[in-house]
Amino acid sequence: MESPPPQSGPPAIEMIDVAVASMRDQSLAAVENVNWRAEPRDYWAIAGLQGSGKSDFLMTTGGVMPPMRGVYRLFGELMPIFDEERLEHRLRLGLAFETGQLFNHLTVAENLTLPLRYHKNLGQAEARPQVQPLLEAMELAPWADSTPGAIGRNWQKRVGLARALVLKPEVLLVDSPLTGLDLRHVTWWLVFLDALSRGHPLLDGRPMTLVVTTADLRPWKGRAHQFAVLKNKKFSVLGEWSQLERVTDELVQELLTT
């Protein structure tokens, strides 16, 4: 897949000398000296072995944790954003957690309506019709009134993705989307993320900026536009797939042949 043409305006994501804290101990750095730009409509795959800091990195990019050091901007505005008057800018970004992070006491449909109820001040009756297209497009409608514990991990991850899309963000971060899935669900995710990147009808045909993390680079060949790797607390941009294949780094080769 070719990279999209350059866009005018600020990058979707810009990090300058950013240090990422560990979620387990926020006094320790999981990743240091990150210098990275993700342009609007770009599609990044960020690879690393277990324990390399992929989730930590994505939590900081998602604005869940502040950087320990450095500057992070989302479409030109400083992150993280917690203050109410700037929240609309923060909602230009969506985050899908590796485990879905669903509320088990709520149904699938109620998990999806939660962002609309919280951020748009809608009642359940008003919000439910707005999530119905997502339920149908993502094959979740049969489980709309089931709780997450009744549907299994393959579908829980999909519910987490649907919830991240409810507010129609411009940037989507997805933590290890393929981990633990069977082959049919892996294929579904790859095809669906491709459609989001190009412009899905669910998002009014507007192409998204995508960032996914992974422990295996191979599924993203011909899909992601740009690649990076996390190793020894360092974030290294590898470039496009043609550049990646020429890298002799042992870890990169391992991530290509796992």
What CATH number did the domain enclosing 71 receive? 3.40.50.300
Please give the single-letter amino acid code of residue 195: A
Please give the Cα distance from 146 to 108 (Å, whole number). 6
Please give the Cα distance from 190 to 181 (Å, whole number). 12
Give the residue from 206, 204, 244 showing the smallest Cα distance to 224.
Answer: 244
Whether 186 is covered by a domain: the verdict is: no
Note the pLDDT of residue 154: 93
Give me the domain span that covers residue 250: 9-92+210-258
DSSP 8-state secondary structure symbol assigned to residue 106:
S
The structural domain count of the chain equals 1
Note the pLDDT of residue 95: 97
Ordered strands of the 69-74 beta sheet: 77-78, 69-74, 13-21, 29-38, 234-239, 226-231, 43-47, 209-214, 171-174, 93-96
Better pLDDT: 255 or 239: 239
Q: How many CA atoms lie within 13 A of 51 on its CB side?
A: 1
Whether 62 is covered by a domain: the verdict is: yes
**pLDDT reading at 251 higher than 80:** no
Whether 72 is covered by a domain: the verdict is: yes
Whether 239 is covered by a domain: the verdict is: yes
Whether 107 is covered by a domain: the verdict is: no
Q: Is pTM beyond 0.85 here? A: yes
Whether 59 is covered by a domain: the verdict is: yes
Whether 103 is covered by a domain: the verdict is: no
**pLDDT reading at 123 higher than 80:** yes
Note the pLDDT of residue 2: 56
Least confident segment among 4-13, 76-85, 204-213, 231-240: 4-13
Whether 222 is covered by a domain: the verdict is: yes
Structure tokens at 153: 């991990």
Least confident segment among 58-62, 226-230, 241-245: 241-245
Percent over 70 (pLDDT), the chain: 92
Are 138 and 151 in contact by the 8 Å Cβ rule? The answer is no
